[in-house]
Amino acid sequence: MNAAFSLAGKRILVTGANTGIGQGIAVSIARAGGAVVGVGRSAMDDTARKVAAAGGTFVAVAADLADPAAAASMLDGVWDENGPLDGLVNNAGIIRRADAVELTDADWDEVMDINLKTVFFLCQSFARRVLAGGRTGKIVNIASVLSFQGGIRVASYTASKHGVVGITRLLACEWAPKGINVNGIAPGYIETNNTEALRADPDRSASILSRIPAGRWGAPEDIGDAAVFLLAPASNYMHGAVMPVDGGWLAR
């Protein structure tokens, strides 16, 4: 393997690793030689099997990322119990669909806490440990094409993903001189639990596919391989970038 794209000897924490994009990222990291610490609320046995099949190691950590303070404490615990982390992938996220006039306070707060507030405080916890140890590190935040568009019936999700881009750029500016790369990925329409309702609606699915130049929904490994690039030495001069991986959606 080209050393520029290798994660050999690196330990990466991935949130939301039980399924979908998080699972795809975990498997791609394993293929690149990295060790994965997967964080999620539900069992990650399937991910562990797939990581093992790819030749990697997987440590599962149960955590409720709806509590930002608990999430940050969890990262410190992982660092202390499993050794230093070389990378953090903030992938965990939720979505609540409702007309803007019907969205509740609870749905707004739940989405913002997981998708934005926890992302920031996990970045903060990771950076504190990296800087205290005189190390370098890489952070990859999973944004969305709705970081750049409005969308329909997903007000809190859209707001949170706009915020992810802002946080990514701000932290990159602060931490680039200190040896921490902070970048993001903006997935398009990927085959995950979050898009199941869209894919099950024939009219909505056809409308989405008609706008994607690649002519297909994305697969989790499409995002996983992009994450490997941003975690590997090949991206050492990238700071504050948010890469669309969307089949050409934003270019249309």
List residues with catalytic annotation: 157
Instruction: Identify the residue whose tokens are 């921490």.
Output: 180
In DSSP notation, 139-154 reads EEEE--GGGSS--SS-
Q: Are 24 and 32 within 8 A, CB to CB?
A: no
Closest CA to 97 of 18, 151, 148, 144: 151
Q: Is the four-CA dihedral 244, 171, 122, 103 of positive or negative sign?
A: negative
CA distance 127 to 123: 6
Measured at the alpha carbon of residue 75, what is the angle toward residues 170 and 183, in degrees to the nearest 5? Answer: 30
- Cβ atoms within 10 A of the Cβ of 72, count? 19
